[in-house]
């Protein structure tokens, strides 16, 4: 299991293709915060996002923030939410917007595997609940769009040494979540037999 | 000694609630810290070790930065043990818990998660219709009040499961349901956490008991030896599933399994599962009849 450092947004697809399920990744550059209501607005209400998502790293988050007098936002506590609720947006995020990485906690079900393979995307597993650490890795909130959806706005964060992340699903059709579920389901049969 | 005014006691309970909510979010109990460290020591999978060492680092960063352990400030759940001679009526205790929750949310500030369940519009600073949630227990021959605050994260609360097993399913049916629930939940509830199981009673009461179970100090055992034995057995079985930290595969799927039970109808065999994430936050205040308050991180 290799260790990588990747800077987002990416311009070269090879940066994504070299990542394999189980690898460790640390991220630099800019990432975009997104959540349920943000994606419902983009895809169900058909409203174009006012940020460029090409090559982007999306983080499933609804950050805790403090609004400053000049209208900017200061971080208070930024962590990551459960991804599975938002799996249906994977295909259009890749096909229409060229998103390259989605990061969240708890994983995506198997329906994300094919869109990620087709569009050269990866799913990064972050440690859910580790928000105190995550907050220190976010240097600044650079942009906020759709403030009326607070806290489920579109957020642009500048990050430094963001991670460690684990590649949960790679762009080659491999998913740790699929493998763990398959093994656990088989194990359950053995455990039931012992009850 | 002059009679203590209701308003003073109200203020003491409100102050306690405001302090408990923020404190629980920032400073996790020692038994939880020990359990996480122990888990990191026995995990053998590479992703699992990565997760657990990040968790330990996060707990340290929360201490040093005085920040929240997890951004999900949850839904505020309080468990109150009210002595029959405690001078403030539970209706006023509820009001004080409500006001303390709102005050802590605004003053810190904490993320406000409370929304109307249909319109999804925010209803206020972590308060709303029937929020916060309070569990009540009344104690005879006592004049004190214990308030335990359990900010319950949504990632783990979404992984709650109820099954009305039939008597013929027996204890085996209970065990199977707990196992299939935790395997099905996978990484979503932020494992390794505490699996709370409520058995018996009725459908609603079984889930209530499961919530009580997750609020206990880690590894404590039910006073009924038959139930305690089931806790031990399920704890072992759950860690054989291989789900592992954050569902990435590994040896440590749960930190422990706690069960609360109630007697039930001869035709009922309800089993409820309520998951508590690894950031199993809880904090308690012991409030005396004169308003004197002792905070207790370990209760």
Chain A hits for B158, Cβ within 8 Å: 82
- For chain B, the structural domain boundaries read 6-26+69-153+281-296, 155-276
Please, what CATH class does the domain formed by B6-26+69-153+281-296 belong to? alpha beta
* Lowest model confidence (mean pLDDT) among A73-77, A88-92, B78-82, B203-207: A73-77
Of B70, B75, B67, B66, give the one whose Cα is nearest residue B151: B75
Tens of pLDDT, residues B42-53: 999 999 999 999
Per-residue pLDDT of B222-273, as tens digits, reads: 999 999 999 999 999 999 999 999 999 999 999 999 999 999 999 999 999 9
Q: Which of A128, A168, A182 to mutate to test the interface with B (most CBs of B within 10 A)?
A: A128
Question: Where do the domains of chain A lie?
Answer: 3-194
pLDDT at A95 (0 to 100): 97
The pLDDT of residue B288: 97
Say yes or no for a CB contact (<8 Å) between B242 and A187. yes
Residue-wise pLDDT tens digits, B136-146? 999 999 999 99
| A175 → chain B, closest CA residue | B248
Q: Above 90 in pLDDT, residue B280?
A: yes
pLDDT-derived band at B5 (thresholds 50, 70, 90) equals: low
Residue B188 and residue A183: Cβ atoms within 8 Å? no
Which one of B43, B248, B271, B281 makes the best mutation probe of the A interface by having the most chain A beta carbons within 10 Å? Answer: B248
Q: Cβ contact (<8 Å) for B155 and A82?
A: yes
CA distance B95 to chain A (A): 26
State the Cα–Cα distance between residues B192 and B190, nearest whole angstrom.
Answer: 6
With a cut of 80, say whether residue B2 has pLDDT above it.
no
Per-residue confidence (pLDDT) for residue A174, from 0 to 100: 98
Contacts of B72 in chain A (CB under 8 A): 79, 81, 129, 131
Q: Do B71 and A188 touch (CB under 8 A)?
A: no
| Helix, strand, or coil (residue B77) | strand
Question: What interface predicted TM-score (ipTM) does this complex get?
Answer: 0.93
CATH architecture of the domain with residue range A3-194: Alpha-Beta Barrel (3.20)
The vertex-B223 CA angle with B218 and B227, nearest 5°, equals 85
Which parts of chain A register pLDDT below 50? none
Among A89, A110, A98, which Cα is nearest to A173's?
A110
Six-digit token string for B159: 């992984």
- Does A137 contact chain B (CB < 8 Å)? no
């Amino acid at each position: 299991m290799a260790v990588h450092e990747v800077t987002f947004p990416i311009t070269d697809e090879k940066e994504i293709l070299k990542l394999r399920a189980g690898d460790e990744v640390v991220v630099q550059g800019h990432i975009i915060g997104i959540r349920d209501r943000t994606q419902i607005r983009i895809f169900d209400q058909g409203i174009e996002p006012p940020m460029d998502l090409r090559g982007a790293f999306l983080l499933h988050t609804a950050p805790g923030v403090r609004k400053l007098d000049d209208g900017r936002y200061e971080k208070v506590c930024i962590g990551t939410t459960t991804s599975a609720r938002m799996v249906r947006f994977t295909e259009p995020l890749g096909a229409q917007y060229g998103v390259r990485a989605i990061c969240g906690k708890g994983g995506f079900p198997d329906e994300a595997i094919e869109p990620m393979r087709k569009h050269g995307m990866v799913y990064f597993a972050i440690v859910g609940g580790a928000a105190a650490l995550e907050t220190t890795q976010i240097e600044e909130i650079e942009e906020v769009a759709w403030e009326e959806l607070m806290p489920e706005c579109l957020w642009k964060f500048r990050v430094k040494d963001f991670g460690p992340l684990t590649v949960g699903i790679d762009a080659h059709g491999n998913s740790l979540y699929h493998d763990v579920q398959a093994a656990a389901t088989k194990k359950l049969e053995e455990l039931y037999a012992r009850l | 000694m002059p009679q203590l005014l209701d308003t003073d006691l109200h203020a003491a309970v409100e102050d306690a609630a405001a302090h408990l909510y923020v404190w629980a979010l920032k400073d996790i109990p020692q038994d939880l810290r020990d359990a996480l460290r122990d888990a990191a020591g026995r995990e053998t999978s590479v992703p699992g070790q990565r997760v657990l060492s990040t968790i330990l680092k996060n707990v340290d960063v929360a201490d040093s930065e005085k920040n929240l352990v997890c951004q999900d400030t949850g839904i505020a759940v309080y468990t109150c043990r009210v002595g029959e001679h405690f001078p403030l009526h539970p209706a006023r205790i509820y009001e004080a818990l409500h006001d303390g929750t709102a005050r802590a949310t605004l003053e810190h500030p904490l993320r406000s998660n409370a929304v109307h369940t249909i319109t999804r519009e925010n209803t206020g600073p972590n308060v709303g219709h029937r929020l916060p949630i309070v569990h009540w227990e009344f104690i005879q021959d006592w004049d004190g009040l214990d308030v335990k605050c359990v900010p319950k994260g949504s990632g783990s609360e979404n992984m709650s499961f109820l099954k009305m097993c039939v008597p013929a399913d027996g204890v085996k049916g209970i065990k199977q349901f707990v196992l299939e629930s935790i395997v099905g939940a996978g990484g979503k509830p932020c494992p390794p956490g505490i699996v709370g199981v409520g058995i018996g009673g009725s459908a609603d009461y079984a889930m209530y008991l499961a919530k009580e179970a997750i609020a206990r100090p880690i590894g404590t055992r039910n006073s009924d030896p038959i139930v305690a034995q089931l806790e031990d057995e399920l704890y072992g079985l759950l860690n054989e599933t291989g789900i592992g930290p954050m569902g990435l595969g590994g040896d440590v799927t749960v930190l422990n399994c706690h069960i609360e039970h109630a007697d039930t109808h001869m035709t009922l065999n309800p089993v409820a599962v309520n998951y508590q994430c690894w950031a199993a936050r809880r904090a308690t205040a012991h409030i005396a009849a004169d308003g004197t308050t002792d905070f207790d991180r370990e209760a």
